């Protein structure tokens, strides 16, 4: 079976003010269908660049990014992106934001309106369909950002630090919401974060990246049983692995001890 | 006790009026050059409603027609300019290819003052309405196109990416994402454009067309009717202000989502 996402020896080089910067250096990773993969790394390690290439917003300088075995031509509703900033359309209500995707496919309102209401309810925003984004809190905006992607029933969900800008309380709620939704729908997920705990709580696999130039330092399998909840973060096993990843990020020397059992 | 709100904006106009009134009373102002406020009010009144006796004066009951002439030219020229400049500016700001083809030419023509176009407009359109409308449209075109370009260029890249990711085709991106996010810049351009329109209509009526408020202003000067000149200036100020308010009002209706403020 083909991997859902294959990143093969990808390099990304930027030229800024005459200086050449390697954002990504020979990145390779695969995500199997219906698996939740996290890319964990410090700010500026190029993890968002990687996600943008899978989304089709950006192309690698060299190497290949394949989705279901095919080269990416551009952005597509089959690869739904949830951005770090909610990136909602401020001039549309919640309902119009969520129905924006179906409208592009010339689907009938009678079909997509009930569907939109369903997803709005799923993300816990029942009663907010007529609100504008400016009337919503940060967490609520991200819920809309999730709903407008879920309604497209994407094969792949790409999430670029979607909860990074939220307060700890809201972030926890959003993580649990994502777990519930994902454990039911089971899309392939590529989730970019700098938060070790978040990656451990959500993902099946974690790809730990180095600081610029970005390389994959280690890939780890996380095999906590599902369904998971925030309670998991309090368990000793969880915290042990969390410490290990922290050390892995901090110290190149101990990387060999924590190699992922490929 | 309700706090007494001082209408601060009134202070300076009242002061200026007192200086004007007082200056003419005390004879500080040169006679025949600066008319007194009552002289202006009287002349203006006759100009609007007409003299009680039959009069052949061009300043008896002709104000409404002159005003309508000028307003019509402003509106027509401004609408022509907007209809061309808004879509063009959006395209230039959004599409690099369009920018490469068109933007340099706009920058080339922009520094040519509107007044420098008058001989050309007269030669080409003659002493007709078309001359005035052309000059008004040309004057309003540049601020509108430049601001629309700027607005489109500043569209949040995340919104563009989100729309493309959700399957929006280029025409939809332009209409549903670029246009609404450029609206504040577009309306800034429209406000500047309507201002330029009034300037252009005065100039063209002084020189190119023999009707309207601008013509009245210049003609009154030639026959030494400074009271009519001042009445015309105030008329222009009033209409400039009102048309700007009208653009602001349309802006409010064009952006209904702004009326739903951020309550969180």
Q: How far is CA A40 from CA A141, A198, B144, in A?
A: 24, 9, 47
Please name which of B9, B59, B11 lies closest in space to residue B230, comparing C-alpha atoms: B59
A92-139 confidence digits (pLDDT tens): 999 999 999 999 999 999 999 999 999 999 999 999 999 999 999 999
B57-86 confidence digits (pLDDT tens): 888 889 999 999 999 999 999 999 999 999
B208-236 confidence digits (pLDDT tens): 888 999 999 999 999 999 999 999 999 99
> Which domains, from first to last, does chain B contain?
63-255 (1.10.3720.10)
Flag if A91 and B180 touch (Cβ within 8 Å): yes
Q: How far is Cα A242 from Cα B107, in angstroms, rounded to an integer?
A: 59
Nearest CB partner across the interface for A87, out of B162, B169, B180 = B162
* Domain assignment present for A20: yes
Same domain, A130 and A176: no
CATH number at residue A58: 3.40.50.300
* Domain assignment present for A131: yes
Nearest CB partner across the interface for A134, out of B165, B167, B261 = B261
Domain end residue (candidates: A153, A172, A197): A153
Q: How far is Cα B218 from Cα B231, in angstroms, rounded to an integer?
A: 12
Same domain, A120 and A188: no
* Domain assignment present for A39: yes
Whether residue A137 lies within 8 A of chain B, CB to CB, comes out as yes
Same domain, A68 and A28: yes
Same domain, A167 and A142: no
Same domain, A149 and A165: no
* Domain assignment present for A257: no
Flag if B262 and A148 touch (Cβ within 8 Å): no
Flag if B163 and A89 touch (Cβ within 8 Å): yes
Nearest CB partner across the interface for B165, out of A81, A90, A105 = A81
Same domain, A165 and A213: yes
- By CA distance, what is B162's nearest residue in A? A87
Same domain, A162 and A74: yes
So what's the pLDDT on residue A46? 86
Q: Which domain holds residue A172?
A: 1-78+155-220
Whether residue B166 lies within 8 A of chain A, CB to CB, comes out as yes
How many CB atoms are located within 10 Å of the residue B203 CB? 21
So what's the pLDDT on residue A118? 94
Instruction: Kindly tell me if the per-residue pLDDT of A258 is higher than 90.
Output: no
Domain end residue (candidates: A153, A176, A201): A153
Same domain, A46 and A69: yes
Nearest 5°: phi and psi at A23?
Answer: -80, -40
How many CB atoms are located within 10 Å of the residue A219 CB? 18
Q: How far is Cα A189 from Cα A187, in angstroms, rounded to an integer?
A: 6
Domain end residue (candidates: A137, A153, A169): A153
Contacts A149 to B, Cβ<8 Å: 166
Q: What is the mean pLDDT of residues B84-109?
A: 95
| Average pLDDT across chain A, whole number | 90
Angle between helices B129-153 and B96-109 (to 10 degrees): 140
Number of domains making up chain A? 2
* Domain assignment present for A6: yes
**What is the ipTM metric for this complex?**
0.90
Whether residue B156 lies within 8 A of chain A, CB to CB, comes out as yes
How many CB atoms are located within 10 Å of the residue A55 CB? 26
A22-26, A172-176, B22-26, range with greatest mean pLDDT = A172-176
Flag if B163 and A90 touch (Cβ within 8 Å): no
Q: How far is Cα B224 from Cα B146, in angstroms, rounded to an integer?
A: 41
Per the CB < 8 A criterion, the answer to whether A247 and A78 are in contact is no
Same domain, A175 and A58: yes
Angle between helices A109-122 and A94-104 (to 10 degrees): 130
Instruction: Kindly tell me if the per-residue pLDDT of A26 is higher than 70.
Output: yes
Q: How far is Cα B50 from Cα B60, in angstroms, rounded to an integer?
A: 4
Q: How far is Cα A34 from Cα A52, in angstroms, rounded to an integer?
A: 20
Same domain, A71 and A5: yes
Contacts A81 to B, Cβ<8 Å: 161-162, 165
* Domain assignment present for A258: no
Instruction: Tell me the three state secondary structure of residue B254.
Output: helix
B1-56 confidence digits (pLDDT tens): 455 666 888 899 999 999 999 988 888 877 778 899 999 999 999 999 988 777 77
Contacts A89 to B, Cβ<8 Å: 159, 162-163, 176-177, 180
In chain B, % of residues over pLDDT 70: 96
Q: How far is Cα B230 from Cα B226, in angstroms, rounded to an integer?
A: 6
Same domain, A69 and A162: yes
Angle between helices B63-94 and B179-207 (to 10 degrees): 140
Flag if A87 and B177 touch (Cβ within 8 Å): no
Same domain, A20 and A36: yes
This prediction's pTM:
0.87
* Domain assignment present for A143: yes
* Domain assignment present for A233: no
Q: How far is Cα B158 from Cα A85, in angstroms, rounded to an integer?
A: 8
Instruction: Kindly tell me if the per-residue pLDDT of B258 is higher than 90.
Output: no
- By CA distance, what is B171's nearest residue in A? A104
Q: How far is Cα B23 from Cα A112, in angstroms, rounded to an integer?
A: 73
């Amino acid at each position: 079976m083909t991997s859902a996402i294959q990143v093969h020896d990808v390099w990304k080089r930027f030229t800024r003010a005459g200086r050449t910067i390697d954002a990504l250096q020979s990145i390779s990773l695969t995500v199997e269908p219906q698996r939740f993969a996290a890319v964990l790394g410090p700010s500026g390690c190029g993890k968002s660049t990687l996600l943008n290439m899978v989304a089709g917003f950006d192309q690698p300088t060299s190497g290949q990014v394949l989705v279901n075995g095919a080269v990416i031509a551009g952005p597509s509703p089959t690869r739904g992106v949830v951005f770090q900033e909610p990136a909602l359309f401020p001039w549309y209500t919640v309902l119009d934001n969520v129905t924006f995707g179906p409208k592009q496919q010339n689907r009938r309102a009678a079909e997509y309106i009930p569907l939109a209401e369903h997803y709005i309810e799923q993300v816990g925003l029942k009663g907010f369909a007529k609100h504008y984004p400016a009337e919503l809190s940060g967490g609520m905006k991200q819920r809309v950002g999730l709903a407008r992607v879920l309604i497209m029933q994407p094969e792949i969900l790409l999430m670029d630090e979607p909860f990074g800008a939220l307060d700890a309380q809201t972030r926890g709620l959003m993580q649990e919401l994502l777990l519930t939704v994902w454990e039911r729908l089971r899309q392939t997920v590529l989730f970019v974060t700098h938060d070790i705990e978040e990656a451990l709580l959500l993902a099946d696999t974690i790809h730990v990246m180095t600081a610029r130039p970005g390389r994959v330092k280690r890939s780890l399998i996380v095999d906590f049983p599902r369904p998971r909840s925030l309670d998991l973060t309090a368990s000793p096993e969880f915290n042990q692995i969390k410490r290990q990843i922290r050390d892995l990020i901090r110290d190149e020397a101990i990387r060999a001890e924590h190699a992922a059992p490929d | 006790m309700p706090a007494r709100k001082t209408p601060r904006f009134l202070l300076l106009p009242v002061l200026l009026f007192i200086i004007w009134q007082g200056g003419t009373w005390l004879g500080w102002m040169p006679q025949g050059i600066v008319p007194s406020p009552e002289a202006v009010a009287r002349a203006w009144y006759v100009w609007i409603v007409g003299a009680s006796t039959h009069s052949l004066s061009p300043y008896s009951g002709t104000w409404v027609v002159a005003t309508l002439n000028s307003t019509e030219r402003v509106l027509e020229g401004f609408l022509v300019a907007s209809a061309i400049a808004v879509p063009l500016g959006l395209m230039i700001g959004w599409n690099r290819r369009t920018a490469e083809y068109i933007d340099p030419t706009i920058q080339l023509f922009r520094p040519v003052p509107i007044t420098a176009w008058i001989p050309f407009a007269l030669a080409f359109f003659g002493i007709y309405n078309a001359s005035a409308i052309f000059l008004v449209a040309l004057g309003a075109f540049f601020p509108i196109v430049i601001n629309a370009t700027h607005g489109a260029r500043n569209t949040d890249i995340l919104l563009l990416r989100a729309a493309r990711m959700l399957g929006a085709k280029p025409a939809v991106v332009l209409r549903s994402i670029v246009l609404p996010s450029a609206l504040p810049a577009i309306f800034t351009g429209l406000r500047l454009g309507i201002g330029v329109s009034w300037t252009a209509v005065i100039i063209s009526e002084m020189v190119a067309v023999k009707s309207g408020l601008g013509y009245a202003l210049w003609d009154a000067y030639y026959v030494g009717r400074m009271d009519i000149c001042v009445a015309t200036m105030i008329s222009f100020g009033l209409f400039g202000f009102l048309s700007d308010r009208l653009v602001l009002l349309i802006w409010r209706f064009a952006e209904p989502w702004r009326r739903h403020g951020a309550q969180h």
